[in-house]
Structure 1
Amino acid sequence: MHTTLIDATTLAQHLTDPDWVILDCRHDLLNPDFGRHVFAEGHIQNAQFANIDSDLSGPKSGADGVFRGRHPLPERARLVETLRAWGISEGTQVVAYDAHGGMYAARLWWLLRWIGHDAVAVLDGGLAAWSAAGQPLVTPVAARPRGDIAEKPALVRTVNVADLVQNLASARYQVVDARANDRFRGENETIDPVGGHIPGARNRFFKDNLQADGRFKDAATLQQELAPIVGAPGQAVMQCGSGVTACHNLLALEVAGMGGAALYPGSWSEWCADRTRPIATGPA
């Protein structure tokens, strides 16, 4: 069972394994049609397409009309139905990949753990590593029989916006923001019209988890780099712009043997939507 990362060579050995499901999570925040378009042009054999916006996220506003962020978590029951449609069952090994070193695939990794399924891994290095290993892409989309995965107790934790408002006074959690440094400082209005970060947060750009070739750094290096930023994982909260790339830091923590941190799903997009919440700018 693979529960964090998997290399291209190992994945290539299981392309036709009926107990393995491969999901393509390629996405572009500024071009919602990008993922589906490039999937049609070529993907790993027997892969299916997982859309960040419609499959791996819920409605941006709740039943009360309150904005929940750009990529809120989907309802658990709806997510289970989506996973079954992809052919995922209790004994299925799931592999997620993207073109960005895991920045989107990690969201699917976290969601599977959220509904209690731990046999899920991210292709280390994504499609770049796949191509570097001499593996081809195909265009046919294979049909799979429906799966029977069932919802189980979550293997991960979440906090909500009320928890983090309270944290401003209690300092119970160390908040770690996965956005790029300029976004964290409040200097990128293209992506974040309201710039800055939650007061007291630290910055760990998710790409800092990767080597130059797009693969994750080794466990010892990640532990050495993350420990001073995260502190005690059980008292840490990972966030980003909308709860997607924060999962990359959560995956890196698991690789480093530092599991236990929580996700703030609404992240910056939810926090800054209410102008009564305080905002900090500049470096941490």
Structure 2
Amino acid sequence: MSNLVSPEWVDSKIRDKNTVIFDCRFSLADPEMGFEVYKKDHIEGAFFADLDQHLSGTITTHGGRHPLPSVNILSQFLSSCGVDSEKIVIAYDDQSGIMAARFWWLMKYAGLNQVYVMQGGYKHYKEKGYAVSSKLPTQKTSEIKLDFNKNMIITRDELVKAVQQKDKLLIDAREPNRFKGIAEPIDPVAGHIPTAINVPWESHFNKPGWWKDKEDLTNLYKDQLVDNKTRVVYCGSGVTACVNAFAMSEAGLELPILYAGSWSDWISYNDHEIETD
């Protein structure tokens, strides 16, 4: 079954008590932007999920720019939105699916199964004339017990071992110039993790917000996956890598492991080897 749902289908679910919708709009360049545009209008009944506050944990010396949230942070947030294990959960954004994919991955990591991403993004939904509102939804309380699947992530120590033994396929989701070390607009060091290949997150879309179909996503990975190695995805801070994970799942491939700290964690250790092209 597809992880994608149409704007039309989402509009049909806005008053369904068994469905919870999340607005994940966010700008890395302007962290306040997401909530500001959400307050102006959003899909009727949608809750706001902030990348920094709800979908990430506390930044420390190591762990990257967007470490995974704790069980308490995520469970309290989801409970306040009325989410439980029986709810259908839908995420959308206006960042080509980046933030919605992060939300989707976190829900899978937390043990929720009925999680979907809306095709096209909010702009398309609004332009089609579907129900939007500036009214903030009423906070709720639900009983939810999250069960984080540790098999979906790889630790820094495990990754170091994998790089040394070359027994896993590392996939870097960043744009080619960052992967090659030609440019690095965000992190203080340029380059990539040794042995990694580059499958940019943008390559999974026909146009911004519109995911390629299953056949095209399968073809995108068929040449890289011939060795049957366990796949590990990473990016700058563990956000856009979720696009690659989502795409692989949509293609019917086994969900890859996420290096959550990603490049920003890797370079926080002075003894880590770095490659450039």
Taking structure 1 as the reference length, the TM-score comes to 0.92
Confirm or deny that 1:54 pairs with 2:49. no
Whichever residue aligns with residue 47 of structure 2, its letter is Q
Point out where structure 1 has 5 or more consecutive residues left out of the alignment: none
Aligned length: 277
Whichever residue aligns with residue 3 of structure 2, its letter is T
* Shift in alpha-carbon separation, 1:155–1:147, aligned structure 2, 3 A: farther
The answer for the alignment partner of 1:11 in structure 2 is 10
Counterparts of 1:128 and 1:178, CA distance in 2 = 25
Q: Which of 257, 270, 274 matches 1:275?
A: 270
Confirm or deny that 1:45 pairs with 2:40. no
Counterparts of 1:265 and 1:253, CA distance in 2 = 17
What displacement does 1:109 show? Answer: 0.5
Aligned residues of 2:24 and 2:100 also touching (Cα < 8 A)? yes
Aligned residues of 1:3 and 1:118 also touching (Cα < 8 A)? no
Question: Residue 236 of structure 1: SS of its match in structure 2?
Answer: strand
Confirm or deny that 1:264 pairs with 2:259. yes
What displacement does 1:273 show? Answer: 1.4
Aligned residues of 1:23 and 1:96 also touching (Cα < 8 A)? yes
Q: Deviations over 1:173-214 (max 9, x none)?
A: 101011111111122232232111001111111111011253
Q: Deviations over 1:95-137 (max 9, x none)?
A: 0110022101111111111111011111112113313433243
Aligned residues of 1:175 and 1:200 also touching (Cα < 8 A)? yes
Question: Residue 98 of structure 2: SS of its match in structure 1?
Answer: coil
Counterparts of 1:202 and 1:139, CA distance in 2 = 43
* Shift in alpha-carbon separation, 1:261–1:232, aligned structure 2, 3 A: farther
Counterparts of 2:169 and 2:71, CA distance in 1 = 27
The answer for the alignment partner of 2:190 in structure 1 is 195
Identity of aligned residues (%): 33
Question: Residue 104 of structure 1: SS of its match in structure 2?
Answer: helix
Q: Which of 163, 167, 173 matches 1:172?
A: 167
The answer for the alignment partner of 1:26 in structure 2 is 25
Question: Residue 140 of structure 1: SS of its match in structure 2?
Answer: coil
Whichever residue aligns with residue 69 of structure 2, its letter is P
After superposing the two structures, state which structure 1 stretch, 32-41 or 221-230, moved more: 221-230
Taking structure 2 as the reference length, the TM-score comes to 0.94
CA-based RMSD of the aligned residues comes to: 1.8
Point out where structure 2 has 5 or more consecutive residues left out of the alignment: none
* Shift in alpha-carbon separation, 1:232–1:220, aligned structure 2, 3 A: farther
The answer for the alignment partner of 2:221 in structure 1 is 226
The answer for the alignment partner of 2:84 in structure 1 is 89
What displacement does 1:154 show? Answer: 2.5
Written as runs of structure 1 = structure 2, the 5 A alignment for 1:121-132 is 121-132=116-127
Q: Deviations over 1:46-90 (max 9, x none)?
A: 0111110111111111xxxx4210000111233112111111012
What displacement does 1:244 show? Answer: 0.7
After superposing the two structures, state which structure 1 stretch, 123-132 or 227-236, moved more: 227-236
